[in-house]
Amino acid sequence: MIAVDTNVLVYAHRRDSPHHQAAAEAIHRLGRGSTPWAIPWPCVHEFLAIVTHPRIYRPPTTVPEALAAVDALRSAPTLHMLAETANHGEVLARLLASGQVSGPKVHDARIAAICLAHGVAELWSADRDFSWFPELKVVNPLI
């Protein structure tokens, strides 16, 4: 299963992004396909925080528009929304220890732990910080 990170969701949503077309096409391929794919809930939260932030985008996406974008994604029949599992603490602790991760990278470790616990084969992201977690294959769908 492929999971999608925040930055790909943001680029697909924001038409003013230089990566909009590539990201939107990647999301559309997943949404129209028959193969299961996923979005971790923390990526949805981060997406909402970024696209509605008035210091990041001018004008920002309104909250109703952002929620409608999330609802549109969630309507894809093959999409799975991923949350922490019962063994999340163990997986997260292993990633934090093995990658010597601290500070802001803990958020990425949380996403990686969720993906690994759900058997995600690859995470689509343009964020190189996931290289701290070699257990998780990361693919940049924009290149």
What is the average per-residue pLDDT within 91-106?
Answer: 88
What's the pLDDT at 99?
64
> By the 8 A CB rule, do 5 and 111 touch?
yes
> Which whole-number Å values give the CA distances from 53 to 13, 46, 60, 66, 104, in the listed order?
14, 11, 6, 11, 19
pLDDT tens for each residue of 11-63:
999 999 999 999 999 999 999 999 999 999 999 999 999 999 999 999 999 99
What is the average per-residue pLDDT within 77-83?
Answer: 98
pLDDT tens for each residue of 119-134:
999 999 999 889 889 9
pTM as predicted: 0.95
- Side chain identity at 135, as an amino acid letter? E
The CATH number given to 2-139 is: 3.40.50.1010
Mean pLDDT (the chain) is 95
Going by pLDDT thresholds of 50, 70 and 90, the confidence category of residue 98 is confident
